[in-house]
Amino acid sequence: MQIEQPFELVLFGGLGDLALRKLFPALYLLESDNRLPKGRIIAIGRSEVAQAELLKIIKQAVKVQDEDVWQKFQQRLTYVSIDVYQSDDFKNLVSELEPTCPNRLFYLATASSLYAEIVKNLHANQLIHAPSKVVLEKPIGHDLTSAKAINKAVAEYFDESQIYRIDHYLGKETVQNLMVLRFANSIFESQWNQKYIDHIQISISESLGVEKRAGFYEQVGAFRDMMQNHLLQLLCIVAMEPPSKMEPDEVRDEKVKVIKALRAIEGKDIHDKVIRGQYGEGVSEGRPVPRYRDEDGVNNQSQTETFVAMKVEIENWRWAGVPFYLRTGKRLAERACEIVVQFKEIPHSIFDMQHKETMANKLIFRLQPDEGIRLQLCEKKLGSGMNVRPMTLSLNPDNPSQVGASQYAGAKKSERDFENKMTRVPEAYERLLFDALASNPTLFLRDDELMQAWRWVDPILAAWQESESAPEPYTSGTWGPAAATLLLAKDGRLWNENN
């Protein structure tokens, strides 16, 4: 897929944390691969920034490896100072844009509370036209009510087909590979159900604390920041039915069905099936770290959760009786994101050394820090006797050249050559920015998907708001509060933590 027409990318929050850590580096990588057509990138911020200073900041952020690529990329860059609450400031943008640009994308890398004001002032200054699109960053809203209000405000000026709600985890190569592995291989899809799968774990762990994001995090917490969007989206990809074809709405229809089928967690179930924690002091990555309440910018009486674990159930035929365990947290033992599909134990082992509990088959999708897929099987141990040991088949997308020639059997020569020339896996934001510019919404959330997710999580958030109980403390550098271990242990299971 190619971007056919010249583009204008208008980036609100243009020198913010997200833009400098993710968006500009992703755009630079697209430039280095010659995937961007003629076009301009306009960064928007409140402060006054000279062109030379802009280029210095962005050059440092993208970590330039090739001066020729940088020379091309910097010619696209412009900065415009705008206070989003001042409609007159948007006139500064009018003169920068081509009135008839066929591919204009507004990217709102700001707090979602600013979305309504931004789109209103874009409209007031006649900057939105038929080909325009808008990308909205998560979390969109604070609860169902605020999400509805934001959605309604944006929908006044943009049609649903023009709105791209981004979740960068859906842009990861391994998530794409998960869909292909399921729907292109009968060996897996035929066993992707309650008859063969015991349970599924989805974990996103971070070793870092809140760092410089305490102001944001105090308002959001781990549940809104990660569980309501990233983990639910991964759950949808794992659990959805095969779409009739790989078209945007067909894929998103199936994801919505999963969220609608989630069993409600209300009343006593919130206490039994949802664990929240807050990190205390400890040792992380070899150095002592403070507790969350002692971080700069955090209220010393804060009840904000930095860890959440949940037991989730899907009420449909495919997943009846199969629990999904989700968890996310800061200051945990390591940075990782993985999906573990645990198959059922064999009914009877004829091998004395095979411990069914520890040697059951697992299919592990690792999204970070080292993307790849591993399948845990059993094999005979070398030597005399019939002793059994676990072994792992591994596929690492970072090293396609290590895959055997049989991997490409039947592929066209041009396809094999392309795979062999690949030196890296595309970054998630790189893929999604390209898709947005190419008007491909498959990996972006639709409005009904967003609202259904908020409907499901709202009772949990409301219960926490009314409760006087505090998050359970846990030591930094561990895998979270003891209650999270108990969540699985009372079902006779354990978290997958032997990486």
Known catalytic residues are: 230
**Residue among 331, 327, 336, 328 at smallest CA distance from 294:** 331
- What does 40-92 look like in DSSP terms, one character per residue? EEEEEESS---HHHHHHHHHHHHT-S-HHHHHHHHTTEEEEE--TT-GGGGHH
How far apart CA 189 and CA 181 sit, in angstroms, is 8
Among all chains, which residue has been given the structure tokens 């229809």?
253
- What does 234-267 look like in DSSP terms, one character per residue? HHHHHHPPPPSSS-HHHHHHHHHHHHHHBPP--T
Output the CA angle 94-99-103, nearest 5 degrees.
110
- Count other Cβ atoms within 10 Å, centred on residue 449: 21
Distance of CA 39 to the CA centre of its chain: 27
What totals of helices (H) and strands (E) does the chain contain, helices first? Answer: 18, 16
DSSP 156: T
How far apart CA 211 and CA 292 sit, in angstroms, is 10
Bridge pairing between strands 307-313 and 323-329: antiparallel
How far apart CA 445 and CA 152 sit, in angstroms, is 15
In contact, 181 and 303? CB cutoff 8 Å: no
How far apart CA 304 and CA 219 sit, in angstroms, is 8
> How large is the angle between the packed helices 144-155 and 115-124, nearest 10 degrees?
10
* Distances, alpha carbon 484 to alpha carbons 176, 271, 493, in Å: 29, 12, 11
